[in-house]
Amino acid sequence: MLSIARTSLQHSSRRVLSIARPIHTPCRPFTQPTPLKQAPATRNVPKIQRRNYSQIPERNSIGAFTPTSAALFVLAGVGLYFYFRHEKARLAEEREKERGLKSFGRPNIGGPFSLTTHDGKPFTEKDLNGKWSMVYFGFTNCPDICPAELDKVTAVLNNIQKEHGDIFLPVFISVDPARDTLPQMAQYLQDFHPSLVGLVGGYDETKAVCKAYRVYFSTPPNADPKGDYLVDHSIFVYLMDPKGEFVEAFGQNVSQEEIEAKINDAITEWQKETGKKV
């Protein structure tokens, strides 16, 4: 019995030892772990939001053209008008001066003519000799330019006569022979300097003197004396020396002070050469 018990105990202990012994398994070879692939970095680009036209508030019927912008627009238009008008007159003045220039020497302005004064006396280019002449071309029905230019001539004469005396002869030559009669000319000149001499003539005589002084005028030869028309013409005051030769042409844009300065310079130069003012 005792032997049987020992034998059973030995078998039991062997079974326990066999169960407790760890099971040996073969080792796998060591390998480097494969790195994980990272997804490419993406930039954080802001998403563009598009406005729907339905979200934009509708403008009123006037829009951006407000009363203020309208006033500025009108003022700009008026300013451009006067600017281009000034430039046109200045360019016309320069062209007229160029037309009167020779290739060298003095401008070829002035020459023989035969007209009649406003008081019925004959007058030629020789009557300009012996004084400093200021010759202007215009017409008595001129609404604004001719009166303004003759007012300027009157103001110039009032000033320079105080310094130099009665050595000037202002002349107003009509470019409207159809309507500028002697009585009409005489009445017209009453509003200006008393020494002004008005000259009129027929169409051929008027055309001849205008050609001599390089003056443009638009009066047709068959103009109606009772017609209501305007005459387009050159706007210059010509300064002639005591020999009747051209000295300077003053356009519409030349001021009274500039004219007086030019005349004083011309008289000073003349006096240096001749020893006298006339």
Residues flagged as binding site for Cu cation: 142, 146, 233
Which amino acid belongs to residue 246?
A: F
CA pair distance 126, 112, nearest whole angstrom: 8
Structure tokens of 56? 């934009």
Structure tokens of 241? 């020396």
Q: How far is CA 45 from CA 42, 70, 181, in A?
A: 9, 44, 90
Three-state secondary structure call for residue 57: coil
Q: Note whether 137 and 149 are within 8 A (CB).
A: no
Strands of 122-124's sheet, edge to edge?
A: 122-124, 114-117, 197-200, 168-174, 132-138, 236-240, 246-251
Structure tokens of 200? 């009129």
Structure tokens of 40? 């490419």
Binding-site residues, in ranges, read 142, 146, 233
